[in-house]
Structure 1
Amino acid sequence: MTTQNAINWPEKYLPGTGDNFVSNEVVVRGITAAQVWRYLTDTSAWESYYDNVADISFPRGGGPVLADDLVFSFGTFGFPPLAARVVGFQAPGDGVPGRLSWTARQDGKPEERLDVLHAWLVEDLPGGRVRVLTQETQIGQPAAELAGQTPNPMLNGHQAWLDGLVRAASGGA
């Protein structure tokens, strides 16, 4: 039996307590957590494999590779660039899953406010497989509006991100 790791959630963002929560996962053979991690943490590669991200910037310097406590911004799902900060960063290692999470915010009028925690877990599994899990909790009226759509655009958007990430890590375009 193989036990798989889970994302560690701050209480504020516990799944099911916000206005929108999505969870996407892939398990594939033939690539490693280290290969996936390279494309996940290098924001300069994101637009090459995921078409729902734009305008990535680092207002305080640093980047394009994400690191703990790094401040960045990016546009996605039609929102103006969200102010983001890496709040969890652990590269994958022998028997240790990679963990990446960031918060992202959109301030403004109450109906525009958005507060998000997007978390990733990347782990090698027995048999030459890798598991990539991404989950996101969103709080705010824009999140509730997304959650009310069928299918949920976040669910489909994050699946496209996962699929592109796996293709990139596998050496595909």
Structure 2
Amino acid sequence: MQQNAIIWPEGFLPGFTENFASNEVIVSDLSAAEIWPFLSLPARWPTYYANSANVRFYDGKGPELGVGDRFYFETFGFPVEAQCTEYVPPTEGHAARVAWHGWAGNPGADDRLDVHHAWLVEDLAGGRVRILTQETQKGKPAEALKNTKPNPMINGHQDWLEGMLTAARAAKQPK
């Protein structure tokens, strides 16, 4: 079975941006449907991922993401304005997808950061689930992040994945 891939918008293709991070896990004790509520509801992010805070939606949207929804959160020391660009919940035989364009700073400013952060969650043969998260970044802050060792994006997104797995497993436990 061929695994799915992230869909990249124009201007954000990895290799043509200042920074790129890719993290993936495959586990056998969860399903895409069990993972999805921890990704599709941004208010849950800070409950299992310490690098996410102060989530809020604009224009009366939320609590679940939807294409076109504007939202805000803080991460990696950046106040991120974001807009959901892709939202496909998991269904039998099809991968779930969610992505957003996020930005911090004013257009043209040295501190401007633009990102495309995408997630893919798919059930695999043998009762496994695959979670892939990838992010491309543009701007001078992205260059600084790329040159920081250890890489804060790789480490931070791994924490996000592992926190999500822990939260989803805890939700499965009988109360």
Coarse TM-score class (shorter-chain normalised): over 0.9
Task: Give the letter for the 2:16 counterpart.
Answer: T
Gaps of 5+ in 2: none
**2:133 corresponds to which residue?**
134
Name the CA distance, whole Å, in 2 between partners of 1:97 and 1:155: 23
Name the CA distance, whole Å, in 2 between partners of 1:59 and 1:5: 31
% identical equivalent positions: 49
| 1:107 alignment partner, one of 101, 105, 108 | 105
The alpha carbon displacement at 1:11 in A equals 2.4
Task: Give the letter for the 2:44 counterpart.
Answer: A
Name the CA distance, whole Å, in 2 between partners of 1:19 and 1:52: 22
Task: Please give the residue correspondences for 1:55-134 in structure 2 after superposition, counting only pairs within 5 Å.
Answer: 55-79=54-78, 81-108=79-106, 110-134=109-133
Counting matched residue pairs gives: 171
The alpha carbon displacement at 1:59 in A equals 2.3
| Normalised TM-score (structure 2) | 0.94
Name the CA distance, whole Å, in 1 between partners of 2:149 and 2:60: 39
Name the CA distance, whole Å, in 2 between partners of 1:40 and 1:71: 16
Name the CA distance, whole Å, in 1 between partners of 2:113 and 2:59: 22
CA RMSD of the aligned region, Å?
A: 1.3
Name the CA distance, whole Å, in 2 between partners of 1:62 and 1:154: 28
The alpha carbon displacement at 1:58 in A equals 1.1
3-state SS of 1:13 partner = coil
The alpha carbon displacement at 1:45 in A equals 1.1
Name the CA distance, whole Å, in 1 between partners of 2:94 and 2:104: 33
Matched, 1:44 2:43: yes
Task: Give the letter for the 2:101 counterpart.
Answer: T
Name the CA distance, whole Å, in 2 between partners of 1:10 and 1:50: 26
Q: Is the 8 A contact 2:42 2:55 kept in 1?
A: yes
Deviation digits for residues 130-160 of structure 1 (CA, Å, limit 9, x no counterpart): 0000000000001110000111100000000
| Normalised TM-score (structure 1) | 0.95
**1:10 corresponds to which residue?**
9
Name the CA distance, whole Å, in 2 between partners of 1:158 and 1:38: 18
Deviation digits for residues 9-44 of structure 1 (CA, Å, limit 9, x no counterpart): 112100111111000000001110011111111112
Name the CA distance, whole Å, in 1 between partners of 2:2 and 2:68: 29
Task: Give the letter for the 1:158 counterpart.
Answer: H
